[in-house]
Each structure stands twice: as structure tokens, then as C-alpha cells.
């Protein structure tokens, strides 16, 4: 399916996809707004995609939990979300998420430009590929350093304290951590915790989309003695962070280089497909027209 943003990366233009997490359900700074339903062979995405521009840069916005926060973390169709954004021609993908802190120095109200993940989710479909089309992409460095640095700088311009780097523990949810779990995650080296970055980051890499995650710290999880997570407290910080997140996207648009240089992630599927061409499942290959059409031909 072709959309107003689906002309590819050959012209060197930035087309930024933004996935909004808890508290970020729209981008008010968008001009020339179009709201479109984009179909995916992987099922129903979280909602329609909002297209528009900020400072002349094209954006495609999708709220991860849907309008009114109706979709729980474990019920999000992560594959459909990434697929429809790729169909909209985005070149890079910024995820904005509410997170809990596992470190004293990552205080509520601050932002974290995440650079690593530990995946503790279960039962979520973590790949576009499978039987009949086996593929292994590299995920050693799951975040695009260029986009992450640009997003961190934009958040600083929006007045936020930003920690550049941090390991995100992706938990299943929907409940928050037990105190024992929270302390264990700290021992593992995790710095922040959330419920939605996996398999989102994995799928973005398979889709050859440079991915960055800007986490908005809302709480200290439950590792501190005598403290625990309450939704009411999270919401108070989240609402304040949401305004700064919108400002961050505006600053990001203003500071992007005029030309988008190629990223190694643009060709992440080169050499990653293991199944010999004559043995590939044609039905699965057809579903992958947007995700892997570049290499499947």
C-alpha cells in the first residue's frame, strides 16, 4: 500500500516514525495533518497513523496503546504497528515510553536515552520471520546511536535532565514488579524497567528501521525500602513528562541534519536470511513485502 510518505529512502529525506507510549497519544505540533488507516497482513495495528510535518520534516505518529489507552502491553500487535509505519515510508523510528527507575540517579521526571535491553516478556510474537523463511538479524546494539543522540539533545532542549545510556528491563506486566524482582533486576545491571520495548525493538531491526527509545521516568519501581508503585503517582509525573515529550519531538525536527545519511541498520537484512530461495514460503514472503521486500525481490 502506498501512502503520502511511502517513497523510500533514496532521496536522503528524514521521515520520522514516532510511537507514543503511556501519556503520549497525539502530536499537537503537526502541520498538514492526515489521519489514515493502514492495513497490515500481520493483523490490526493499535490505531490509524497520523501523518504530518514539523519544521518541514515528515512524521508518522502511532499511539502504542491506542486511543484512550485501551490496549494492554501484552495485547499490543507489535508486528502490525511496525509494519504499518514501514508502509508509511518512515526511515527512522523513535519510541517514547513511560518507565520506572532502578537507579537512584535516574530520578522521576528525568528522561533516559536507552541503549540496551533485557527481555523478560513471554508469549509475544518476536519476529516477522519463521518456518519457511528463517532469518537471524544482529541485535548486539539494538538502538541507533545517531537517532538516540539526536533525541537526547532534543529532550535537553526541552528542559529535561537526560541520562544518555541505560539498560531497559522489559517485563511482561500488566502488574508492576514485586520487591524481590525489582531488586533482582538491579543486580542484573538493568537501569530502568517497562512493559513495551520488547519485542518492539527486535521487530524494528528486522524491518531495517533505526530505532531509539526515549524513556520518561515516572517512579522508582519497588526496590526502595518502604516504597512501591501506585498508578496515581505515576500519572502525575507522566502528564508532566508528556508535555516535554511533545516539545522534544519539535526540537528533534528542528535539529535534524538537512540530509539523512545512510545508516548500517538500513541494510540489516543483508546476509541474515538463512532459507535458500527455492525453499522459501511464498505466502510468508508475500506478507513481508514492506518489511523485507528490498531483499526478497
Catalytic annotation on 221?
yes
Give the right CATH number for 15-292 from 3.40.50.1580, 3.40.190.10, 3.40.50.12780, 3.40.50.150: 3.40.50.1580
| Residue of 83, 119, 191, 219 marked catalytic | 219
In angstroms, the CA 90 to CA 17 distance is: 6
The whole-model pTM stands at: 0.93
User: For a pLDDT cut of 90, what percent of the chain falls above it?
Assistant: 83
In angstroms, the CA 186 to CA 105 distance is: 13
H-helix or E-strand spanning residue 34: strand 31-36
- Three-state DSSP state, 61: strand
Catalytic annotation on 92?
no
H-helix or E-strand spanning residue 157: helix 145-157
| Domain definitions of the chain by residue range | 15-292
The number of residues making up the chain comes to: 297
pLDDT value for 22: 74
Tens of pLDDT along 134-180?
999 999 999 999 999 999 999 999 999 999 999 999 999 999 999 99
* 175 grid coordinates: 502488574
pLDDT value for 8: 44
| Residue of 221, 266, 270, 281 marked catalytic | 221
Tens of pLDDT along 191-247?
999 999 999 999 999 999 999 999 999 999 999 987 766 677 777 777 778 889 999
Amino acid at each position: 500500500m502506498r501512502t503520502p510518505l511511502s517513497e523510500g529512502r533514496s532521496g536522503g529525506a528524514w521521515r520520522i516514525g514516532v510511537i507514543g507510549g503511556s501519556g503520549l497519544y497525539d502530536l499537537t505540533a503537526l502541520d498538514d495533518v492526515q489521519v489514515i488507516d493502514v492495513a497490515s497482513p500481520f493483523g490490526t495495528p493499535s490505531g490509524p497513523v497520523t501523518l504530518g510535518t514539523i519544521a518541514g520534516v515528515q512524521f508518522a505518529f502511532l499511539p502504542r496503546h491506542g486511543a484512550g489507552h485501551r490496549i494492554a502491553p501484552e495485547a499490543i500487535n507489535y508486528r502490525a504497528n511496525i509494519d504499518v509505519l514501514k508502509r508509511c515510508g518512515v526511515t527512522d523510528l523513535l519510541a517514547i515510553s513511560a518507565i520506572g527507575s532502578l537507579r537512584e540517579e535516574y530520578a522521576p521526571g528525568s528522561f533516559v536515552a536507552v541503549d540496551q535491553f533485557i527481555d523478560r516478556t513471554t508469549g509475544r510474537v518476536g519476529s516477522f520471520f519463521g518456518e519457511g523463511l528463517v532469518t537471524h538479524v544482529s541485535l548486539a546494539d539494538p538502538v541507533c546511536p545517531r537517532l538516540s543522540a539526536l533525541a537526547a539533545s532534543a529532550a535537553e532542549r526541552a528542559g529535561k535532565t537526560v541520562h544518555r545510556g541505560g539498560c531497559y528491563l522489559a517485563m511482561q506486566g500488566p502488574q508492576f514488579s514485586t520487591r524481590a524482582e525489582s531488586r533482582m533486576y538491579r543486580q542484573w545491571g538493568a537501569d530502568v524497567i517497562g512493559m513495551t520495548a520488547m519485542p518492539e525493538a527486535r521487530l524494528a531491526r528486522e524491518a531495517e528501521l533505526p530505532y531509539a527509545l526515549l524513556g520518561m521516568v515516572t517512579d522508582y519501581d519497588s526496590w526502595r525500602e518502604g516504597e512501591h508503585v501506585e498508578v496515581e503517582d505515576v500519572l502525575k509525573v507522566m502528564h508532566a513528562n508528556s508535555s516535554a515529550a511533545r516539545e522534544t519531538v519539535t526540537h528533534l525536527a528542528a535539529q535534524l541534519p538537512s540530509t539523512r545519511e545512510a545508516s548500517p541498520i538500513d541494510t540489516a537484512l543483508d546476509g541474515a536470511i538463512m532459507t535458500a530461495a527455492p525453499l522459501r514460503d511464498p505466502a510468508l514472503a508475500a506478507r513481508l513485502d514492506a518489511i523485507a521486500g528490498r531483499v526478497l525481490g
